[in-house]
Every structure is written in structure tokens, then in C-alpha cells.
Amino acid sequence: GENVEQHPSTLSVQEGDSAVIKCTYSDSASNYFPWYKQELGKGPQLIIDIRSNVGEKKDQRIAVTLNKTAKHFSLHITETQPEDSAVYFCAASRVYDMRFGAGTRLTVKP
């Protein structure tokens, strides 16, 4: 089955700096790669996703890149703000079997 590894497990940046979170996956048939943000006491919320036929996708300060050959994808957050502080999860899915990474706790210091 699919195995998703996520790095780093914790990330601390100054407000205004960029943050990058990286994930690798094992199943070359995976074709859908969402990123979720989870705040304390809440469920994960989708912030951006990418499908295997696209190499990059951007939405304001958030972008995701996908390298199918190397089987890795990354989340980039620019101009970070304190409200970006949360746990971020990557996931990979072939059909319905979505597998999540272990999460990255991002702290943005004012």
C-alpha cells in the first residue's frame, strides 16, 4: 500500500519568511495530492491540492509542486503570518485510499 513520509516534523520561521514542507510517496499510481491544515481542536481543512497531470499549482501565498518521477511533492508558503501556525498534513491517494503523512507543526513567530 501507499506510504507517505513528511519532513520536517516541526518548523519554526519568522513572520514574513517562507516555509517549505516536503513529502515523498511510494505508490507510483497515486494521482491526487492534497494538503491539509489542522488547527488545535479542529479537523483537517484542505488548503490546496494537485493532481498528477499538473506539476505546480498556486493559490495566493500557497503553492504546491509535484515531481512524479521522484515521487515527491512540496508545500510552499510565502510571506508567512502568525495565523499560518498550525499542523500541516500532506496526503497521497490513488482512488479513495488516501494516506496521510505524520504532519508538520509550523510555528510562525511574530
Partner 1 sequence: EAGVVQSPRYKIIEKKQPVAFWCNPISGHNTLYWYLQNLGQGPELLIRYENEEAVDDSQLPKDRFSAERLKGVDSTLKIQPAELGDSAVYLCASSLERLAGGHNNEQFFGPGTRLTVL
| Residue 31: how many other CB atoms lie within 10 Å | 15
Strands 99-100 and 4-7, by their bridges, are: unpaired
Nearer to partner 1, 11 or 98 (CB): 98
Which cell numbers hold the place of 4? 507517505
Shortest Cβ 96–partner 1 spacing (Å): 6
| Binding-residue total with partner 1 (CB under 8 A) | 26
Question: Coil, strand or helix: which one is 83?
Answer: helix
Count how many residues are written for the chain: 110
If binding is defined by CB under 8 A, does position 107 make contact with partner 1?
no
What DSSP character marks residue 84? G
CB of 110 to partner 1, least distance (A): 25
- Among 4, 6, 21, residue whose Cα is nearest residue 63: 21
Written as one letter, the residue type at 101 is G
Residue list 1-60, contact with partner 1 (CB under 8 A): 4, 6, 31-32, 34, 36, 41-46, 49, 51
110 is an interface residue for partner 1 by CB under 8 A? no
Q: Which of residues 65-104 bind partner 1 (CB under 8 A)?
A: 89, 91, 93, 95-103
Would you tell me which residues interact with partner 1 (CB under 8 A)?
A: 4, 6, 31-32, 34, 36, 41-46, 49, 51, 89, 91, 93, 95-103
